[in-house]
C-alpha cells in the first residue's frame, strides 16, 4: 500500500476522541476533521495491513454538513494543511452542533462502559458555558513546544512533527498580548503560559531549559510586567515540586480568585483551564454535595484546594475536611490556601492509601473527587465502597473514564442520582462531567 493513500468515504457516527467512524471495504476507519453524514476524501495516516482499524484525516469535502463552518484557525485547518496542529479539532463545526456531538459521545460511553440503558436514563445535553459565545479566548493555561528555529510550536495529532505558530485563538487574550510568539526560545524545550483569574491580566511564563542559562536570555525579551520563571525538567517540574524553579522576572506564582476566595498557584501547578471553570465547578460541586455544618468530607485529588476551601467553610469549626493530593508542589500550595481553616487537614500521598487511613479514623459523610483524565482505579473504588460514605460528587474531564468509574461505583452499591455535562473545552472533543452518587 502506498504512503498516505486517498479514499472516498461517507462519515458515520461520532466516536470518543474527536473522530467520526467510516468504513471502506469492511475496514473501520477513525476519521478526524469531519462531521457525521459528510461525503469526504480522506488521507490515511495509519493504515497498517494488520491493524484492527485505520486512521485518517479529511482532505477534501465533497458533500458538506449543514453544520460545517470555515475553521477559525488556519494552522489547525485540515483542508489547508496536511498536518494540522492539534488543540482545535472541532473548529470546523458550529458550537451548537459540537455540543450535540459531545452529548452523543457521553450517552454512548455511559451506555457501553457505564452499563446504563440509554432508554431508561435521561442523559443530559452538554451545556454551554458563560463567555463562550464564539468559543475563543477561554484557555488560561497554555503549553507549547519549541521548534529547531526557536519558535513556539505545536504538533499534529499523534505526530512529533512540529509546526511553528504565530497565534492560538483559544488562548486567553492576556496571554496572546504578551508578544510570546515573537520571542526567540533557542535553548528552551517547552514553554508554559498562564494568566491569573484575579485580574484577568497578570501572566506567568514558565521556561523549561534544554540548555543551562538559556532561560535568562529568553526572559529579557519579555516586556516589563510579565512574570517569567524557569524550571528544570531533569529534576522534575514545578508542578510536582521536584524541579528547580527559578524566578527570572516578577513572581513564580499566580493568585487566582474564585467566588471571593484567593488561591496561590505556583509554577505549572494544576488549575482549571477554562476561564469560567473554577467558579462554575466550585458552585456546582457545593450545590450537589450539600455540605452541612459538622460534617466530615474528603476532597480527593484536591490540587491546590479549589473545592477544599469552600467545603471547609461549609462544615465549620465542628466539621473536618481532608484535602488529599499527591503532587508535592501543588500540596504546598494547598497548605497555604487552607492555612486559616483549622478544620482542614491537608495530606500528601497516594489517594487509595490516604483514603483508607482517613476512612478508618473518621466516619466520612461525603467525598468529592476530581481525578486525572484516567479516572480512579479499582482500588480507589473499593476504598470508597469500604468507607460506606453516603454521597460522592465526582468531577471528570473524560467521558470514557467517568462511564467506566460509574460502572465500578454502581457495582459497589452506589447509584448515579445526578449527572450534568459542561462545555468547558469549546472547539475540542473534550467535556466536563459532574456526577452525584448516593449509597443505595
Query: Which parts are annotated binding residues for S-adenosyl-L-methionine?
Result: 272, 301, 325, 370
* Beta carbons within 8 Å of 60's beta carbon, 6+ residues apart: 40, 41, 79
Closest CA to 381 of 360, 401, 361, 399: 401
Q: Which three cell numbers stand for residue 318?
A: 465542628
Place of cell 477561554: 138
Phi, psi angle pair for 416, to nearest 5°:
-80, 100
CA–CA separation, 327 vs 342, rounded Å? 22
Per the CB < 8 A criterion, the answer to whether 53 and 62 are in contact is no
The rounded Cα 155 to chain-centroid distance in angstroms is 18
Strands in 19-24's sheet, in edge-to-edge order, are 6-10, 39-46, 54-63, 27-32, 19-24, 14-15
* Beta carbons within 8 Å of 248's beta carbon, 6+ residues apart: 207, 215, 216, 219, 228, 229, 230
397 is catalytic: yes
Relative to beta strand 152-155, strand 227-231 is: unpaired
Closest CA to 193 of 267, 90, 121: 267
SS3 173: helix
Burial of 28 (0-12, 13-18, 19+ CB in 10 A): middle
Catalytic site residue from 397, 401, 416, 421: 397
CA–CA separation, 312 vs 387, rounded Å? 20
Count other Cβ atoms within 10 Å, centred on residue 80: 10
CA angle at 196 for the pair 273 and 349, rounded to the nearest 5° = 60
Q: Which residues are annotated as a binding site?
A: 272, 301, 325, 370
Length of the chain: 440
The residues carrying an active-site annotation are 397
Amino acid at each position: 500500500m502506498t504512503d498516505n493513500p486517498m479514499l472516498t468515504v461517507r462519515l458515520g457516527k461520532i466516536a470518543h476522541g474527536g473522530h467520526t467512524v467510516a468504513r471502506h471495504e469492511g475496514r473501520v476507519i477513525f476519521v478526524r476533521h469531519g462531521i457525521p453524514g459528510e461525503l469526504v476524501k480522506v488521507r490515511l495516516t495509519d493504515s497498517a495491513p494488520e491493524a484492527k482499524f485505520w486512521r485518517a484525516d479529511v482532505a477534501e469535502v465533497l458533500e458538506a454538513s449543514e453544520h460545517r463552518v470555515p475553521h477559525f484557525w488556519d494552522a489547525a485547518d485540515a483542508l489547508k494543511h496536511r498536518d494540522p496542529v492539534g488543540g482545535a479539532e472541532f473548529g470546523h463545526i458550529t458550537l451548537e452542533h459540537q455540543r450535540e456531538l459531545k452529548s452523543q459521545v457521553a450517552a454512548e460511553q455511559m451506555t457501553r462502559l457505564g452499563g446504563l440503558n440509554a432508554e431508561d436514563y435521561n442523559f443530559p445535553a452538554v451545556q454551554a458555558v458563560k463567555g463562550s459565545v464564539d468559543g475563543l479566548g477561554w484557555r488560561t493555561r497554555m503549553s507549547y513546544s519549541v521548534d529547531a528555529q526557536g519558535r513556539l510550536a505545536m504538533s499534529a495529532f499523534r505526530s512529533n512533527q512540529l509546526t511553528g505558530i504565530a497565534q492560538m485563538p483559544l488562548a486567553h487574550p492576556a496571554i496572546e498580548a504578551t508578544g510570546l510568539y515573537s520571542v526567540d526560545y533557542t535553548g528552551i524545550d517547552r514553554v508554559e503560559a498562564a494568566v491569573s483569574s484575579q485580574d484577568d491580566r497578570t501572566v506567568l511564563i514558565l521556561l523549561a531549559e534544554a540548555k543551562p542559562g538559556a532561560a535568562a536570555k529568553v526572559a529579557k525579551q519579555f516586556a516589563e510586567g510579565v512574570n517569567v520563571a524557569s524550571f528544570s525538567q531533569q529534576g522534575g517540574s514545578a508542578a510536582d515540586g521536584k524541579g528547580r524553579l527559578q524566578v527570572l522576572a516578577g513572581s513564580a506564582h499566580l493568585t487566582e480568585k474564585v467566588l471571593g476566595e484567593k488561591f496561590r498557584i505556583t509554577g505549572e501547578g494544576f488549575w482549571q483551564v477554562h476561564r469560567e471553570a473554577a467558579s462554575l465547578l466550585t458552585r456546582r460541586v457545593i450545590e450537589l454535595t450539600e455540605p452541612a455544618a459538622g460534617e466530615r468530607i474528603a476532597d480527593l485529588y484536591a490540587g491546590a484546594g479549589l473545592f477544599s476551601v469552600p467545603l471547609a467553610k461549609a462544615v465549620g469549626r465542628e466539621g473536618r475536611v481532608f484535602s488529599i493530593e499527591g503532587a508535592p508542589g501543588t500540596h504546598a500550595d494547598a497548605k497555604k490556601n487552607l492555612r486559616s481553616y483549622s478544620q482542614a487537614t491537608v495530606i500528601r500521598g497516594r489517594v487509595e492509601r490516604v483514603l483508607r487511613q482517613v476512612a478508618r479514623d473518621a466516619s466520612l459523610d461525603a467525598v468529592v473527587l476530581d481525578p486525572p483524565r484516567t479516572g480512579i482505579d479499582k482500588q480507589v473504588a473499593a476504598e470508597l465502597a469500604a468507607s460506606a460514605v453516603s454521597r460522592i460528587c465526582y468531577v471528570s474531564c473524560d467521558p470514557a473514564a467517568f462511564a467506566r468509574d460509574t460502572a465500578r461505583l454502581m457495582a459497589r452499591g452506589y447509584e448515579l442520582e445526578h449527572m450534568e455535562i459542561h462545555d468547558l473545552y469549546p472547539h475540542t472533543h473534550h467535556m466536563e462531567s459532574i456526577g452525584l452518587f448516593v449509597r443505595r
